[in-house]
Structure formats: C-alpha cells, structure tokens
C-alpha cells in the first residue's frame, strides 16, 4: 500500500476525515493496480493462461514501487494514466507473465473499475462519519425530546417545537442518505470490462465468464453489459452523495443559525473555533466547514450529470471530464460528514436560552391555537382575521396578547381568560412532536442497534 498523502494547505478544512486518503492519487494508483491484478487472476481462473502468470503479476506488483509523477507525465501522451501503469507493471513483472497483463481490456475498463473501487473504499469512512453524526443526532433527539424551543419558518418564530424534534429531523435526513448510499454501494458499483469497443472481442468466447470472475475478485457487482458510455452508475452514486451533502448541510445550517450571538441556543464545544483577531468569539467552525463542504456538492453532481451524454463506444472528452468531479465529490461529502459529526458530537445545548427565546413573543405565536379554538364558532376565515387583528393590536400596544384577546367582544363569548392562557402555553402545543421523535429513533435503532 502507498503511504498516506501529505495534507494540503486547504485540506484541513475542505478535506477532513479519512476520505481524503481514500481518494488520493496514491489510492487511485493502488486501485488501478488492484484492478489489473484482479483481471489477471480472473483470466487465469478462466483458463486464458496459467494461474501462475496471474500470481507472478500479483507478486511483481507487490514488489515494485511506482512513481506517480512519472506516470502522470506519461499519461499526457495517451490521454490517460492507464497505459503508463500497464507498462510500469509489465516492467516490474517481466518475462512471459508481463505479456498477460491488461489482456482484452481497454484503458477505460481499468479506470472505470478503479473508480468503482475507490468509491467502494471511500464510502467506508464516509458512511462511518455519517453514521456517527446520525448517532449523535439520535442522542440529542432522545435527550431533548421534551425541550421546548421555537420552531422557525422563513427565519421567523412560528410555533413551538422541541429540540428533540429538530434533532429527529436531522437524524431522519441522515439515515435516509445513509440508506441510499448503502444501496448504491451494494447494487450499482460494478466492474467495467468491454475491451476496445465493448464487445470483449479479444477474449473470444470467454468474455462473460471473465467478467463474472473479475467482479468476484474485486467484490463488486457484475454488470449486464459494458457501460462505457452508459453512465447511470456514476450518476446514481453522485446523486446519493449529493443527497448526503444536503442531509449533512441542513443540520450544519441550523447549528450556525442557533449559534448566532442573538439566539445563543447552541454552541460548538469541540477543539476548533475561536477567531484570529477576536478572542471572545466562539465560531461554530465545524458547522461552517460542513456547510462549505456540502455546498460544493451540487455543482459537482451537476457536472457528473452533464457528462452523461457520451458518444458512441467511448466519449471524446465527456468521460475524462468526469474524473475530477467524481473524486472531488467523494472528498467533499466525506469532509462534510466528518465536520458535521464533529459539530453534533460536541454540541452544547442551552435549554434556558431556548426557553427564553420562546417566551419573547409572549404567546403571540400561539395565535394559531386561538384561531383554531374560534373556528367552530366563527368559521376559519373570520377567526383568522379576527385573531390577526388582535395580535397586531397587542404587538402595537405592547399589552399582553392574552388580555387583549380576553377583552375583545367577539372573543369573550367563546373563550375564558383561563382557556386562553392554557391555549397560549407552548408546552401544551407540541402536537405529534413526541411521536415523530419516537419514529425517527426507532427507525435508527432498527438499523444500527441502540446508540446514544
């Protein structure tokens, strides 16, 4: 295995977590060598040449060291790094077995299969971080199941919710993304093997059998047909990654909003934070970085979809145009997942601040409930308009909303002050919050056992 690549200047922020290593040039080289060895083994098993040749190729590969910069330079001549790798591997193996390397394959077979392998491998730490974030969200959902806070729509306080419900929504989003990613990983990451024009012509009748064994060697799916210019697998992987970015970015956005100085309901307790010039600031660095990494995903997803229309049996550019977005998408979504996990796992929740913010509107925002209580008597529209008017009056006058209501001649016949006070108590107006928290936790635990 190649050594771990050095951290780049921006990687600490934009390429957090183990996905960076799993998508590095060294990882790509390893994957392409693994693919060539697996192909040789498959062909050996299929009887195209003695198994000993395949083993010699394997051994030669293990003994050799490869120079990425030299391979990259030689890739210029041919337009991809596969042929230089095959040559270098051949030199390392030597003798007759060297002649069996890459048999029946075209460069795209190797590069596409390596991409699937890279994805399969990179998804391990990525899913681990997503699951860690989901577990942490599950912990918050459980702990704060009864913690009331303001629900906010269009950034305005709307109705009370619980922080547990908010965390349950994060959790369900993360679990959804995990399920989809696991599904894509299991069913859509397939080997590619078609030879120069997708017919496997140079393998004679042995083609389909070799493909089967090749898939077996690499523990990847076996495709029905070569998919050189059918990029749905890549697109589905990209989509699932984009979905994960959205699922990771959403809680991160909420956290930055809840951490605002004026809101102060949460704070990141991890190692990051602080500010270069402002010693008192507690920047929610992990959430900010999670957003930054997640926000890169949509354009990368779009780039992958833009490359789907590929010409004939190999595209003149659109295939090559996939390479970077593919790697970048894995890396940035992995980084977003790792940052989100960091943020949620160390999230400090200020229950008192949540309550204080909730009390700011003095019950005004439970107007909906009063409206509902008046509907039977007045009809929906009249009740709505009436309560709106009284709410505006209260907001203007500064007098308590409950008193304004109780004193109004159209309300008085239908609601007492006691009833109104009860209606305006947030803790009594949480609807199905608890049911929803239960569902999200149950679904999460059903998948991965008890956590948090």
Q: Which sequence positions are flagged as catalytic? A: 275, 314
What is the spatial distance between Cα 344 and Cα 134, in angstroms, rounded to a whole number?
A: 9
Least gap, CB of 72 to a copy of itself (angstroms): 4
The footprint of a copy of itself on residues 253-312 (CB under 8 A) is 253-254, 256-257, 259-263, 271-285, 287-303, 305-312
Shortest Cβ 449–a copy of itself spacing (Å):
19
- By CB under 8 A, the count of residues binding a copy of itself is 191
Let me know: does 208 contact 32? Beta carbons within 8 Å.
Answer: no
CA distances to 129, 163, 425, 448 from 437, rounded to whole Å, are 22, 10, 21, 17
Report in angstroms how near the CB of residue 411 gets to a copy of itself at its nearest.
13
* Distance of alpha carbon 294 from alpha carbon 39, whole angstroms: 36
Stretch that binds a copy of itself, among 119-127, 128-136, 152-160, 214-222 (CB under 8 A): 152-160
- Element (DSSP H or E) covering residue 347: strand 347-349
Is 387 in contact with 367 (CB distance < 8 Å)? Answer: yes
d(C-alpha 87, C-alpha 93), whole Å? 10
Smallest distance from a copy of itself to CB 294, Å: 6
Instruction: Residue 58: name the closest of 41, 43, 44, 45 by CA.
Output: 41
Selected binder of a copy of itself within 128, 182, 350, 368 (CB under 8 A): 368
Alpha-carbon span 167 to 159, nearest angstrom: 16
Report which DSSP code applies to 345: H
- Asked if 102 touches a copy of itself (CB under 8 A), the answer is yes
Binding flags for a copy of itself, 8-27, as an x/- string (CB under 8 A): xxxxxxx-x--------x--
316-355 mask for a copy of itself (x: CB under 8 A)?
xxxxxx-xxx--x---x-----------------------
Query: What distance in Å separates the CA atoms of residue 147 and residue 426, rounded to the nearest whole number?
Result: 11
CB atoms within 10 A of CB 282: 16
Residues 197-256 that bind a copy of itself (CB under 8 A): 197-205, 207-208, 224-226, 229-232, 235-236, 239, 242-243, 245-247, 249-250, 252-254, 256
CB of 234 vs a copy of itself, minimal distance in Å: 10
For position 436 contacting a copy of itself by CB under 8 A, the verdict is: yes
């Amino acid at each position: 295995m190649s050594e771990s690549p050095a951290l780049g200047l921006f990687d600490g922020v934009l390429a957090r977590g183990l996905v960076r290593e799993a998508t590095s040039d060294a990882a790509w080289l390893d994957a392409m060598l693994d693919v060539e060895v697996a192909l040789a083994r498959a062909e050996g098993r299929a009887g195209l040449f003695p198994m000993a040749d395949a083993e010699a190729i394997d051994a030669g590969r293990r003994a050799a060291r490869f120079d990425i910069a030299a391979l990259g330079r030689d890739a210029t001549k041919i337009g991809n790094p596969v042929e230089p790798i095959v040559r270098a591997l051949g030199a390392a193996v030597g003798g007759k077995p060297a002649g069996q390397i890459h048999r029946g394959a075209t460069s795209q077979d190797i590069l596409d299969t390596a991409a699937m392998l890279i994805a399969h491998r990179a998804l391990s730490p990525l899913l681990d971080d997503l699951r860690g974030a989901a577990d942490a969200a599950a912990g918050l959902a459980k702990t704060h199941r009864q913690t009331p806070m303001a629900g906010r729509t269009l950034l305005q306080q709307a109705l009370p919710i619980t922080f547990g419900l908010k965390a349950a929504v994060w959790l369900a989003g993360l679990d959804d993304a995990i399920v989809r990613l696991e599904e894509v990983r299991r069913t859509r990451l397939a080997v590619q093997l078609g030879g120069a024009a997708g017919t496997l012509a140079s393998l004679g009748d042995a083609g389909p059998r070799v493909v089967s064994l090749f898939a077996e060697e690499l523990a990847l799916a076996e495709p029905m047909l070569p998919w050189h210019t059918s990029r749905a697998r890549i697109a589905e992987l990209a989509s699932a990654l984009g979905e994960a970015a959205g699922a990771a970015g959403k809680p991160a956005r909420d956290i930055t909003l809840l951490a605002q100085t004026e809101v102060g309901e949460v704070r990141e307790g991890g190692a990051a934070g602080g500010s270069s010039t402002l010693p008192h600031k507690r920047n929610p660095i992990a959430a900010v970085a999670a957003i930054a990494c997640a926000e890169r995903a949509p354009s990368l997803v779009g780039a992958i979809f833009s490359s789907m229309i590929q010409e004939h049996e190999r595209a003149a550019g659109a295939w090559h145009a996939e390479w970077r977005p593919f790697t970048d998408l894995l890396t940035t979504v992995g980084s977003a997942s790792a940052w989100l996990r960091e943020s949620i796992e160390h999230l400090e929740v200020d229950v008192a601040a949540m309550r204080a913010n909730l009390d700011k509107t003095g019950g005004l925002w439970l107007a909906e409930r009063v409206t509902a209580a008046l509907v039977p008597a007045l009809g929906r529209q009249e009740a709505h308009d009436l309560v709106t008017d009284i709410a505006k009056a209260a907001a203007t006058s500064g007098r308590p909303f409950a008193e304004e209501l109780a004193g109004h001649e159209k309300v008085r016949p239908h609601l007492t002050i006691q009833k109104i006070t009860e209606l305006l108590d947030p803790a009594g107006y949480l609807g199905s919050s608890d049911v929803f928290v239960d569902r999200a936790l149950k679904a999460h635990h059903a998948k991965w056992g008890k956590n948090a």
